[in-house]
């Protein structure tokens, strides 16, 4: 898909009516620069390729997508619970069923997220410029723990009460107790139902884009070796 | 301007790598359907936990002595909440610090709770309509000096240690308690109707979602922690990881709660802050593994990866 | 499911049976993922240098 535009030049949009002419990056300004980066690393072909390296053929690789699947059902069931209000599931058996879906998909989410973390750790998935992908993943993990924590607080049952009364001491000890009041249902509910899920979702999208744009890290012991010839014509092989 | 190393183009990165067809969308679809089936099965077979909340009303009915004892200590300003400190009040009973570092103190009061007023005197003051004996008792208590109030309360709290229940009324041996027994009896009566749950929540305004006051009051009593003990949720039982009933809990909190079970955290008065600091450091370490020599090399030394990529190693020799 | 869970006590470790089962299942899943062969369908066509 990419045309070889001469020694080392990134793909650039053609000038009006003159296809193939290398254009200074300044033309089109910021828009062109963003477009260039997106199309080279995040085009639909890059996001949804039909092939992967053969070394991706291991069950360890499915933990990530299974985690995403669990998250989808966490959010979907959460939407239903939010739609019907926080008291619904205590009095309706259908409501309780949706709460159960939410409860078990959260358990699945954490199980497979941790399995994914184990897999990435033992495969040292941060290599070859992927440290940020790893870091975003850890932030997702920590964010998820906080999201789950607020979730437990807004169940409006004994568990919520007990967790609130006990967690307050740890939160207060950090000085955050006045701003993050675990005894304040309204605050915890708003965080749990809106702010934190938005954060988690955005981070997960970022994480996926990072993985797709960089590709899957090579196996340990089979490192990436840059081309010895500087500025050689990029071959089309290996896509 | 520092030259940034350009990211490796995927085409370049995969040079020489054997590719194979891989259907990402199909994989996601199977994962979605499979996960839904699993979750629906678990939900249908096992349901989810929902132990009903404790109420001050239930507390007053099932353990009136504990209720009255707690209420008296609140009024005396001796309860954990009354003496807590920031963010609730100016006490110092629960302030945690690390040497000179006291973020809790520095943060100040933001969730104002005055235990004697909020938990006892205010609710009672709102219940005096048509209750002249309560009004008189309140008047007598308010008119007394703080020292006198403490004398009555201390004597009463001590007597409660051997209180008895007669016709569901808490009775203590006779002594100089002033109007305190009347106040406590009235508060107990109010609690039994559910009125105290309501007043602690909505006394300021109609709409309320902040349960700070009723929860703090509940938390000061023995009844509430007794319920938790029965569900294996207390701290010394690794409670943070646990769920009510036979449900899995929060297994991912294992390391957070583990510290509470080992010295010096078991006896430290600032254990919460210590554990928060330790877990923050460890979380940072997890975040920064790619940059930490040793930690980032373990996957090389312990070759679990030889299992992950064994086909690849077979093919490439 | 609402009756109290059995607990296992090893030294200072106290863990509920449901939590222990969950962790055991995780470890088993991870080991299985390492060992169980991944299906390689039409992967060895040989012509893998272009789409």
CB atoms within 10 A of CB B1: 3
Per-residue tokens: C41: 């369908």
Does B292 touch chain A if contact means CB atoms closer than 8 Å? Answer: no
- Residues B101, B278: Cα–Cα separation, whole Å: 15
**C42 Cβ neighbours under 8 A, 6+ residues apart:** B21
Does A9 touch chain B if contact means CB atoms closer than 8 Å? Answer: no
**B67 Cβ neighbours under 8 A, 6+ residues apart:** B56, B59, B60, B188, B191, B221, B223
Q: Which of A59, B310, B305, A63 is nearest to B297 (CA)?
A: B305
Domain-embedded: residue B253: no
Q: What is the pLDDT of residue A108?
A: 98
Tell me: ipTM over 0.90: yes
- Residues A102, A155: Cα–Cα separation, whole Å: 11
Per-residue tokens: B177: 């308690």
Q: Which of B86, B219, B105, B271 is nearest to A170 (CA)?
A: B271
- Residues A219, A206: Cα–Cα separation, whole Å: 23
- Residues A80, A98: Cα–Cα separation, whole Å: 7
- Kindly report, residue by residue over B60-107, the tens digit of the pLDDT: 999 999 999 999 999 999 999 999 999 999 999 999 999 999 999 999
- Residues B127, B148: Cα–Cα separation, whole Å: 24
Low-confidence ranges of chain B (pLDDT < 50): 1
Integer-rounded Cα radius of gyration of chain C? 21
The SS3 of residue B66 is: helix
Per-residue tokens: B128: 């005096």
Strands B19-21 and B164-166: unpaired
The SS3 of residue A184 is: strand
- Residues B85, B269: Cα–Cα separation, whole Å: 14
If you measure CA to CA, which chain C residue comes closest to A123? Answer: C34
Chain B residues in contact with C4 by the CB 8 A cut-off are 230-232, 245-246
The dihedral through the CA atoms of A220, A69, B48, A192 has a sign that is positive
Q: What is the pLDDT of residue B317?
A: 63
First CA to last CA distance, chain A: 10
pLDDT at residue C51 tops 50: no
Residue that has been written with the tokens 């109007």 in this structure: B179
If you measure CA to CA, which chain C residue comes closest to A114? Answer: C26
- Residues B270, B238: Cα–Cα separation, whole Å: 18
For residue A15, report the phi and psi dihedrals to the nearest 5 degrees. -70, 165
Domain-embedded: residue A109: yes
Chain A residues in contact with B276 by the CB 8 A cut-off are 170, 173-174
Cβ contact C26–A63 (<8 Å): no
Domain-embedded: residue B152: yes
- Whether B36 and B42 have beta carbons less than 8 Å apart is answered as no
Q: pLDDT higher for C48 or A225?
A: A225
Q: How many domains does the structure of chain A reveal?
A: 1
If you measure CA to CA, which chain C residue comes closest to A50? Answer: C51
**Residues forming a β-bridge with A172:** none
Chain A residues in contact with C5 by the CB 8 A cut-off are none
Domain-embedded: residue A4: no
- Whether B151 and B109 have beta carbons less than 8 Å apart is answered as no
Neighbours of chain C (3+ CB pairs under 8 A): A, B
Residue that has been written with the tokens 């703080």 in this structure: B146
Q: pLDDT higher for A228 or C42?
A: A228
Domain-embedded: residue A127: yes
Q: What is the pLDDT of residue A232?
A: 45
**At C2, is the pLDDT very low, low, confident or very high (cuts 50, 70, 90)?**
confident
Q: What is the pLDDT of residue B116?
A: 97
Q: Which of A128, A60, A224 is nearest to B290 (CA)?
A: A128
Buried-state track A78-111, b at ≥16 Cβ within 10 A, e below 16: bebbeeeebebbeeeeebbbbbbbbbbbbbbbbb
Does C25 touch chain B if contact means CB atoms closer than 8 Å? Answer: no
Q: What is the pLDDT of residue A4?
A: 47
CA dihedral B283, B289, B294, B297 (to 10 degrees): 140
The SS3 of residue A53 is: strand
- Whether A145 and A230 have beta carbons less than 8 Å apart is answered as no
Domain-embedded: residue A89: yes
Which residues 128-147 on chain A approach chain B with CB closer than 8 angstroms?
Answer: 128-131, 134-135, 138-139, 141-142, 145
Per-residue tokens: A64: 């990530």
- Residues A39, B7: Cα–Cα separation, whole Å: 14
The SS3 of residue A18 is: strand
- Kindly report, residue by residue over B212-243, the tens digit of the pLDDT: 999 999 999 999 999 998 877 776 678 888 99
- Whether A136 and A205 have beta carbons less than 8 Å apart is answered as no
Q: Cα B37 from chain centroid?
A: 34
Does C21 touch chain B if contact means CB atoms closer than 8 Å? Answer: yes
Helices (H), B92-131: 103-107, 115, 122-125
Which residues 87-106 on chain A approach chain B with CB closer than 8 angstroms?
Answer: 89-90, 96-97, 99-105
- Residues A172, B274: Cα–Cα separation, whole Å: 13
- Whether B72 and B160 have beta carbons less than 8 Å apart is answered as yes
Cβ contact A234–B275 (<8 Å): no
Nearest to C26 among A58, A111, A237 (CB): A111
Secondary structure letter of residue B120 according to DSSP: I
Q: How many domains does the structure of chain B reveal?
A: 1
Cβ contact C38–A239 (<8 Å): no
Domain-embedded: residue B19: no
> How much is the pTM?
0.89
Cα distances (Å, whole numbers) of residue C26 to A65, A152, B82, B241: 16, 22, 45, 16
Q: Which domain holds residue A59?
A: 54-214
Domain-embedded: residue A131: yes
Low-confidence ranges of chain A (pLDDT < 50): 1-6, 25, 230-239
Domain-embedded: residue A230: no
Per-residue tokens: A185: 């249902």
Q: Which domain holds residue B218?
A: 56-228
Nearest to A115 among C26, C38, C50 (CB): C26
Mutate to test the interface with C, among A53, A57, A107 (most CBs of C within 10 A): A57
Chain C residues in contact with B241 by the CB 8 A cut-off are 15-16, 19
For position A63, which CATH number holds? Answer: 1.20.810.10
pLDDT at residue C44 tops 50: no
Q: Which of B121, B114, B155 is nearest to B135 (CA)?
A: B121
Does A148 touch chain B if contact means CB atoms closer than 8 Å? Answer: yes
Chain A residues in contact with B7 by the CB 8 A cut-off are 41, 129, 213-214
Q: What is the pLDDT of residue A21?
A: 52
Domain-embedded: residue B280: no
Domain-embedded: residue A92: yes
Share of chain C above pLDDT 70, in %: 78
Q: Which of A201, A133, A74 is nearest to B32 (CA)?
A: A74
């Amino acid at each position: 898909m990419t045309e070889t535009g001469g020694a080392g030049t990134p793909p650039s949009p053609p000038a009006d009516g003159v296809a193939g002419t290398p254009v200074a990056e300044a033309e089109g300004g910021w828009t062109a620069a963003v477009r260039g980066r997106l199309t080279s690393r995040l085009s639909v072909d890059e996001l949804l390729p039909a092939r992967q390296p053969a070394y991706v053929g291991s069950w360890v690789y499915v933990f990530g997508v299974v985690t995403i699947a669990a998250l989808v059902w966490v959010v979907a069931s959460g939407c239903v619970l939010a739609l019907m209000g926080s008291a619904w599931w205590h009095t309706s058996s259908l409501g309780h069923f949706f709460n159960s879906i939410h409860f078990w998909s959260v358990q699945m989410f954490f199980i497979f997220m941790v399995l994914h973390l184990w897999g990435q750790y033992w495969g040292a998935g941060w290599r070859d410029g992927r440290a940020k992908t790893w870091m975003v993943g850890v932030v997702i993990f920590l964010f998820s723990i906080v999201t789950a924590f607020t979730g437990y607080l807004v169940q409006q049952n004994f568990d919520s009460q007990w967790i609130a009364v006990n967690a307050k001491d740890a939160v207060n000890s950090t000085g955050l107790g006045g701003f993050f009041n675990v005894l304040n249902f309204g605050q915890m509910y708003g965080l749990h139902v809106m702010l934190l899920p938005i954060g988690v979702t955005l981070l997960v999208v970022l994480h996926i884009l990072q993985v797709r744009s960089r590709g899957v890290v090579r196996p340990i012991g089979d490192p990436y070796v840059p081309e010895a010839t500087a500025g050689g014509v990029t071959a089309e092989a290996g896509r | 301007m520092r030259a940034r190393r350009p990211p490796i183009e995927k085409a370049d990165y995969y040079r020489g790598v054997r590719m194979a067809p891989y259907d990402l969308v199909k994989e996601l679809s199977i994962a979605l359907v499979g996960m839904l089936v699993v979750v629906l099965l678990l939900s249908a077979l096992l349901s989810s936990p929902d132990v009903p909340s404790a109420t001050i009303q239930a507390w007053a009915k099932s353990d009136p002595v504990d209720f009255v004892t707690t209420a008296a200590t609140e009024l005396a300003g001796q309860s954990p909440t009354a003496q807590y400190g920031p963010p609730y009040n100016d006490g110092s009973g629960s302030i945690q610090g690390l040497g000179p570092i006291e973020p809790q103190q520095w943060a100040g009061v933001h969730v104002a709770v005055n235990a004697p007023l909020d938990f006892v005197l205010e609710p009672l003051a709102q219940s005096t309509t048509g209750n002249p004996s309560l009004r008189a008792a309140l008047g007598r208590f308010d008119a007394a000096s703080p020292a006198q109030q403490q004398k009555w309360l201390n004597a009463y709290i001590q007597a409660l240690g051997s209180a008895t229940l007669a016709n569901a009324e808490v009775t203590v041996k006779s002594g100089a308690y002033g109007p305190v027994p009347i106040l406590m009896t009235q508060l107990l009566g109010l609690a039994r109707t559910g009125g105290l749950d309501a007043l602690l929540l909505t006394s300021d305004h109609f709409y309320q979602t902040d349960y700070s006051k009723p929860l703090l009051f509940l938390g000061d009593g023995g009844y509430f922690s007794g319920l938790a003990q029965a569900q294996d949720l207390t701290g010394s039982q690794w409670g943070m990881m646990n769920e009510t009933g036979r449900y899995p809990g929060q297994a991912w909190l294992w390391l957070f709660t583990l510290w509470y079970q080992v010295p010096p955290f078991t006896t430290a008065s600032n254990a919460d802050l210590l554990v928060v600091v330790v877990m923050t450091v460890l979380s940072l370490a997890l975040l920064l593994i790619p940059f930490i020599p040793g930690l980032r090399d373990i996957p090389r030394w312990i070759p679990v990866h030889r299992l992950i990529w064994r086909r690849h190693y077979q093919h490439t020799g | 499911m609402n009756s109290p869970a059995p607990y296992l006590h090893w030294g200072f470790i106290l863990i509920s049976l449901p939590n222990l089962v969950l962790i055991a299942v995780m470890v088993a899943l991870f080991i299985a993922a390492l060992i169980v062969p991944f299906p390689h369908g039409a992967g060895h066509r040989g012509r893998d240098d272009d789409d």
